[in-house]
Amino acid sequence: MNNKFFPANFTFIILMMMGTIMSLSSSHWLMMWMGLELNLMGILPLMNIKFKNSEIEASVKYFIIQSMSSSLFMMASICNYMMSISMFSMFNTSLFSSIMTISLLIKVGSAPFHLWLPSMCKNMSWSMLFLILTWQKLAPLFMLSFLNFNYLIMILSAILSSLMGSVQAINQSSMQLIMVYSSISHLGWMLPMSYINNFIMFMYLLIYSIIILPMFMMFSMKSILFTYSLTQMNNNMNKENTFIMFLILSLAGMPPMLGFLSKLITLNVLLKINMTLLSLLLFLGTLISLYFYLNLIMIMMIKSFYMMKTYKMKINMKLIMCFNLLGTFIFMPMMYAMNILNKP
């Protein structure tokens, strides 16, 4: 971040966070919409910190998409208000509520409304990409939970996100695009939980953020932008290779990694309410995505003749790796305790 304009940047960060908090803490659709607009006003200047042409192009695309979806949301909300004659009962008319659902799906970049997201993020910095893929999805996913009777649209979008995100990431060489399509695939798991159980949806997003944060920080420090950059690491960077491999496996949902826990809890909830077909399709998308995750690991190992050598690893790397490895065993008793407490 540009230190010369740090006070202004700090103000924009606070504005972005306050907008999301306003949307999360409001029960009225107008305040939620205002929170989304405050969030947009805060993040747009942050996307133009270095004043590069690619950043300006990405911010303009993001502004256009978010403005169009906000206008669609506002129009449908007003029509709902006119139909229901109430400022609070905004979700009674199925047609306009469906339009509101579609507008929020556009905001989070869910399939089949995701085409703007890869083109915007392909030249973005890793720090801004992290915000777009995590923090910016928090408020729209929360608002989707109020539109829970439009479950058919959300289920179709979840299936398409899981499958299309996995398939489209297979032949990509840009690491940003791979992470974007991976995020779309993970979004397919969050959407069903947004109307079934908000807590599990937030937990899934939190675990996803915990996994990709150190990964994006490592990619930013090593200037990794393409898959072939992973093979250009010298032999003294084997500890970083091992660290990134563990994070990729956790992101893929391999047991006993932490990423496996979120998928396990989601599958448990879906199977309890007899959504077997949805569970199978989401699992199929995960199997497809496992291909390009393992492909990344193979790319890192293909020139690493000295991978069998051991190197001393920093304590923070060890802690993150242990947390990813033991996270499932730590939180598994909590899951069973929740099941016991929820039984009548």
Q: Structure tokens of 238? A: 């084997």
Query: How would residue 335 be classed by pLDDT, with cut points 50, 70 and 90?
Result: low
What is the sign of the dihedral through the CA atoms of 260, 262, 264 and 270?
negative
The type of residue at 303 is K
pLDDT 10s digits, 145-159:
877 667 888 899 999
89/153 Cα distance (integer angstroms): 21
Is residue 50 classed exposed, middle or buried when 0-12, 13-18 and 19+ CB atoms within 10 A define those classes? Answer: exposed
> How far is residue 58 CA from its own chain's centroid?
18
In the prediction, which pLDDT does 179 show? 94
Q: Are 265 and 142 in contact (CB under 8 A)?
A: no
- Three-state DSSP at 313 gives coil
Q: Which helix (H) or strand (E) covers residue 136, if one does?
A: helix 135-144
Q: Structure tokens of 190? A: 């969050």
In the prediction, which pLDDT does 26 show? 84
Q: Are 246 and 124 in contact (CB under 8 A)?
A: no
Higher pLDDT, 288 or 55: 288
Look-up of token digits 């989304």: 36
pLDDT 10s digits, 273-301:
889 999 999 999 999 999 989 988 888 77
Higher pLDDT, 36 or 340: 36
2/89 Cα distance (integer angstroms): 45
Q: Kindly write down the DSSP assignment for every residue of 51-81, as one continuous string.
A: --HHHHHHHHHHHHHHHHHHHHHHHHHHHHH
331/123 Cα distance (integer angstroms): 37
Q: Are 26 and 32 in contact (CB under 8 A)?
A: yes
Is residue 171 classed exposed, middle or buried when 0-12, 13-18 and 19+ CB atoms within 10 A define those classes? Answer: exposed
258/270 Cα distance (integer angstroms): 19
In the prediction, which pLDDT does 344 show? 44
pLDDT 10s digits, 298-318:
887 775 545 545 455 565 666
292/22 Cα distance (integer angstroms): 38
Other Cβ atoms closer than 10 A to 324: 24
72-94: b or e for each residue (b if 16 or more CB lie within 10 Å)? Answer: bbbebbebbbeeeeeeeebbebe
Q: Are 141 and 186 in contact (CB under 8 A)?
A: no
H helix intervals, 197-309: 198-221, 238-252, 258-272, 276-302
Query: How would residue 96 be classed by pLDDT, with cut points 50, 70 and 90?
Result: confident
